[in-house]
Structure formats: structure tokens, C-alpha cells
């Protein structure tokens, strides 16, 4: 495939980075931004505004919002797996209170939560 | 768009064809490259994933490496997974894992082949995160009381493989015989 086809290079260049390069660390409490965003995003609606805990840092990847608009040379963003308690995501959740939902969320969607639960 | 379509909608087939033909016409890629990719995808089957699972059951050091860096450990077995970023999650007596992609149909195709239709259905995608215990029960999976259910939504760049628990009574089986027992659904967490 010719190198002029940028879509092929985006995922291949993603590399794991040391945790120091990321804003949040494993175990940090984070809140998902709750803004209305047009176009393609990879942050599910059901976790917008919810608080979770960083389960791991996945590496650095280009932002899906930019990729979907044809911008393939944007900055790479840290990607996290954020763990939410199901009872916090769904107020009427039926199941064990320890049940969790892990979701991959990019750093620019996350804000710090000062008081850890 | 993808939130409302079901897979019997032929407009997406036409869209794919139009898009592909345009890319070929513009010389971005060739039909041969598309065919090669499609053939690669169809050559992958859950037997590959089952081989990885059985190895982890037989080799605890391999299992540790698999849980730490799924892609690197799978490559150790000579399996080419391309750019796959694999996260392996282990079922234990305390934790049962279930994988879903609520946004589309992300799936470790290089290791399990094409996802089953139910995995791509709107019902599964919506309900797996909302009421995983009810979904699991419909698959005949009823974790013991007190088990934590962890649902993993493949929303971005990672792909997930569940490492099921080794069934009781398989102590005398060979690694290959154990691999034959591992089902696709079990590696999604739904079997």
C-alpha cells in the first residue's frame, strides 16, 4: 500500500509509553467530560460525566476525532482503561455492587477528581 | 448512523462497494490488496485463540506474560497478529469477564476470526453493559453468587481475549486436547 495512504500508518505507529508521559496514573480517580461533541468520537455516551478509576495506561494513539476528519498527523494522546462501578454508571443496576465496567478513554476526555473515593 | 442500522441494511454494502471502487480508481489501493486482506481475515478461526488459552493453562510463566502483554506473548507462539493490541483478562473463581464493543464490532479478529452475528447485534451491544448478568444467563453462564462481573467495552485501540478457567477433570488431557475444548464464546466471556 502506498505511503500516501495515511490511514494505514495511524494504528501502526502507536507505541507503548512509560507511565511518566501520561497525565494520570493507575489508581487515579477521573471524571469523563460531559460535553456535546459533533462528529466521530470513541467515548460512549453512557459514561459521560461519570467518575471512575484508571485501571491501566494503554499507550499513545491519535485522537479519533481528528482521524475521522482526515487529520493523521495530530498529537498522540494517552489512552487509558478506566474502571467504573456499574452501580455508579446505572443508578438502577441489578447485580453485585462489585460489578465493574472497563472502558477505553483518551486523555483529552478525562479530568482529575480531587477527592478519591 | 451506526447506532441505528442493522446488518440486513444493504445500503452499507453499496456504500462499501462505492468507496472501494473509488479508492481503486484513484490508485490508493488495488483489488488484489483488498482480496488479500479479506482472505487473511477469513483464514483466522477461534482455534488460534484456543491454542493460546491452552498454552496459558499449561504454562504459568507464559500465562503471566500473556496477562502482562497479550500481543507479545501471542507472537511467542509464532502467531502473526499484525498491529493487534491485545489485552487478556483472566476468569477466576472471584471474577468473570465479558467483552463487548458498544460502539461497533471491535473484536480480536486476528486471533478469533470474524465475530459472531450476535456480537454485532444492537441488543447484545446495549445489554452487555447494562445488564450483563441477564445476558450471561441467556448464554447459560451463571456465575456463583458473590462473583464480580467485569464488562470490558472495546471502545478504542485495544482488543480483548478472555482467558477462561480450565474445566475440572481435564488434568490428564494433553494441551492440544484442552485447546479443543475452548469455545469461541468462552473467549468472549459468554460461554
For cell 490428564, the residue is B172
Q: Which of residues B84 and B7 earns the better pLDDT score?
A: B84
Residue B16 lies in a domain: yes
Give the CATH number of the domain where residue B162 resides.
Answer: 3.90.330.10
Per-residue pLDDT, B6 = 54
A112 vs chain B: nearest CA distance in angstroms?
21
Q: Which of residues 55 through 114 in chain B touch A, CB cutoff 8 A?
A: 83, 85, 87, 102-103
pLDDT in tens, B20-58: 999 999 999 999 999 998 898 889 999 999 999 999 999
Segment A81-94 shows an average pLDDT of 96
Residue B54 lies in a domain: yes
CA distances in angstroms from B57 to B162, B163, B173, listed in the order given = 13, 9, 11
Tell whether the model's pLDDT for residue B13 goes beyond 60.
yes
Instruction: Say yes or no: B100 and B171 in one domain.
Output: yes
Segment B74-92 shows an average pLDDT of 95
pLDDT in tens, A3-37: 333 333 333 344 454 444 789 999 999 999 997 77
Instruction: Say yes or no: B101 and B180 in one domain.
Output: yes
Instruction: Say yes or no: B35 and B103 in one domain.
Output: no
Instruction: Say yes or no: B22 and B106 in one domain.
Output: no
Residue B27 lies in a domain: yes
Rg (CA), chain B: 18
* CB nearest to B129's CB, from A46, A81, A105: A46
Percent of chain B with pLDDT over 90: 88
Phi/psi-derived region of residue A39, left when phi > 0, alpha when psi is between -120 and 50, beta in every other case: left
Q: How far is it, in rounded angstroms, from Cα B148 to Cα B142?
A: 12
Q: How far is it, in rounded angstroms, from Cα A107 to Cα A86?
A: 21
Instruction: Say yes or no: B85 and B179 in one domain.
Output: yes
* A90 touches B: beta carbon within 8 Å: yes
**B46-58 and B60-68 helices cross at what angle (nearest 10)?**
120
Confidence of residue B12 (pLDDT cuts 50, 70, 90): confident
Residue B50 lies in a domain: yes
Segment B178-190 shows an average pLDDT of 98
- Grid coordinates in use for B136? 450471561
Residue A64 with chain B: CB contacts under 8 Å? 156
Instruction: Say yes or no: B109 and B133 in one domain.
Output: yes
Residue A26 in contact with residue A19, Cβ under 8 Å? yes
Per-residue pLDDT, B3 = 47
Per-residue pLDDT, B9 = 72
Instruction: Say yes or no: B51 and B91 in one domain.
Output: yes
B175 vs chain A: nearest CA distance in angstroms?
31
Q: Which CATH number is A7-112's, of 1.10.3720.10, 2.30.40.10, 3.40.50.12280, 2.30.30.50?
A: 2.30.30.50
Total domains present in chain B: 2
- Full residue range of the structural domain in which residue B30 is found: 11-41
A115 vs chain B: nearest CA distance in angstroms?
24
Instruction: Say yes or no: B30 and B107 in one domain.
Output: no
Q: Pick the residue of A67, A102, A108 with the most B CBs within 10 A to test the interface with B by mutation.
A: A102
Per-residue pLDDT, A29 = 97
Q: Are strands A29-32 and B159-163 parallel, antiparallel or unpaired?
A: unpaired
pLDDT in tens, A35-59: 777 788 899 999 999 999 999 999 9
- Grid coordinates in use for B102? 458498544
Residue B5 lies in a domain: no
Q: What is the average pLDDT value for chain A, to the nearest integer?
A: 83
Amino acid at each position: 500500500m502506498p505511503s500516501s495512504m495515511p490511514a494505514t500508518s495511524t494504528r501502526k505507529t502507536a507505541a507503548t509509553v512509560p507511565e511518566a508521559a501520561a497525565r494520570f496514573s493507575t489508581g487515579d480517580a477521573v471524571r469523563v467530560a460531559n460535553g456535546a461533541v459533533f462528529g466521530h468520537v470513541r467515548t460512549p455516551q453512557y459514561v459521560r460525566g461519570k467518575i471512575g478509576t484508571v485501571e491501566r495506561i494503554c499507550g499513545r494513539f491519535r485522537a479519533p476525532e481528528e482521524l475521522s476528519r482526515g487529520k493523521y498527523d495530530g498529537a498522540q494522546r494517552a489512552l487509558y482503561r478506566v474502571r467504573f462501578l456499574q452501580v455508579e454508571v446505572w443508578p438502577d443496576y441489578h447485580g453485585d455492587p462489585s460489578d465493574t465496567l472497563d472502558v477505553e478513554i483518551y486523555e483529552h476526555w478525562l479530568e482529575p477528581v480531587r477527592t478519591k473515593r | 448512523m451506526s447506532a441505528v442500522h442493522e446488518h440486513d441494511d444493504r445500503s452499507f454494502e453499496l456504500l462499501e462497494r462505492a468507496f472501494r471502487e473509488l479508492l481503486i480508481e484513484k490508485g490508493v489501493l488495488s483489488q488484489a490488496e483488498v482480496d488479500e486482506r479479506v482472505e487473511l481475515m477469513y483464514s483466522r478461526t477461534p482455534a488460534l485463540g484456543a491454542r493460546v488459552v491452552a498454552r496459558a493453562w499449561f504454562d504459568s510463566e507464559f500465562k503471566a506474560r500473556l496477562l502482562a502483554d497479550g500481543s507479545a506473548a501471542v507472537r511467542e507462539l509464532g502467531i502473526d497478529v499484525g498491529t493487534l493490541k491485545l489485552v487478556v483478562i483472566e476468569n477466576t473463581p472471584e471474577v468473570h469477564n465479558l467483552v463487548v464493543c458498544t460502539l461497533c464490532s471491535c473484536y480480536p479478529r486476528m486471533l478469533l476470526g470474524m465475530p459472531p452475528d450476535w456480537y454485532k447485534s444492537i441488543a447484545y451491544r446495549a445489554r452487555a453493559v447494562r445488564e450483563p448478568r441477564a445476558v450471561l444467563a441467556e448464554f447459560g453462564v451463571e456465575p456463583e453468587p458473590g462473583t464480580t462481573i467485569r464488562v470490558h467495552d472495546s471502545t478504542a485501540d485495544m482488543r480483548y481475549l478472555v482467558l477462561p478457567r480450565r474445566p475440572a477433570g481435564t488434568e490428564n488431557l494433553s494441551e492440544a486436547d484442552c485447546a479443543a475444548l475452548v469455545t469461541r464464546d468462552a473467549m468472549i466471556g459468554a460461554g
